């Protein structure tokens, strides 16, 4: 019986898992930072939820906006992890952490400058999210994706 091995970094499921883990770290950093800045720990999930529910709902401070924001954030984190794993991590294998950092920075640029100018409900998020915090959290996201690529390649080398 022949056993087939597939490199973990090339699996879409691995990309989704890496993206969700990176998204969790990103959310933790953002929630701690906004809490210490006096905005409240749920400020970012509320604003992200406002993308779908509208800015009026996100400013009300209810649980609906925060839960919607967290679900959307995790969904997009997993999706962006799959995109990274299935495309960029396959093309660039020599500097995965640097590649991940650049990917995170590119996501920030696309999210805030492209999507932020297209979606009518994004103005609140773009106006109230401190740029340094947005860049920091997106860099953290990308770093985790890059590190996950290193881990997957190391695991593939050990198993393969």
* Residue 1 reports pLDDT greater than 50: no
CB of 151 closer than 8 Å to CB of 17: no
| Angle in degrees, 0-180, between the axes of helices 131-159 and 12-36, rounded to the nearest 10 | 150
62: left (phi over 0), alpha (psi -120 to 50) or beta: beta
Q: What is the pLDDT of residues 54-88, one digit of tens each?
A: 767 656 667 888 999 999 999 999 999 999 988 88
């Amino acid at each position: 019986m022949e056993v087939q091995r597939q490199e973990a970094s090339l699996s879409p499921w691995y990309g989704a898992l890496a993206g969700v883990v990176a998204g969790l770290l990103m959310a933790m950093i953002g929630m701690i930072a906004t809490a210490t800045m006096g905005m409240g720990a749920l400020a970012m999930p509320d604003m992200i939820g406002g993308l779908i529910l509208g800015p009026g709902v996100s400013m009300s401070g209810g649980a609906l906006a925060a839960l919607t924001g967290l679900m959307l954030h995790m969904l997009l984190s997993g999706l962006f992890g799959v995109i990274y794993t299935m495309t960029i991590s396959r093309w660039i294998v020599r500097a995965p952490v640097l590649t991940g950092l650049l990917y995170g920075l590119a996501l920030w640029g696309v999210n805030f400058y492209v999507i932020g100018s297209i979606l009518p409900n994004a103005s609140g998020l773009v106006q109230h999210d401190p740029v340094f915090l947005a860049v920091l959290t997106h860099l953290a996201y990308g770093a985790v994706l890059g590190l996950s690529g290193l881990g997957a390649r190391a695991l593939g080398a050990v198993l393969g």
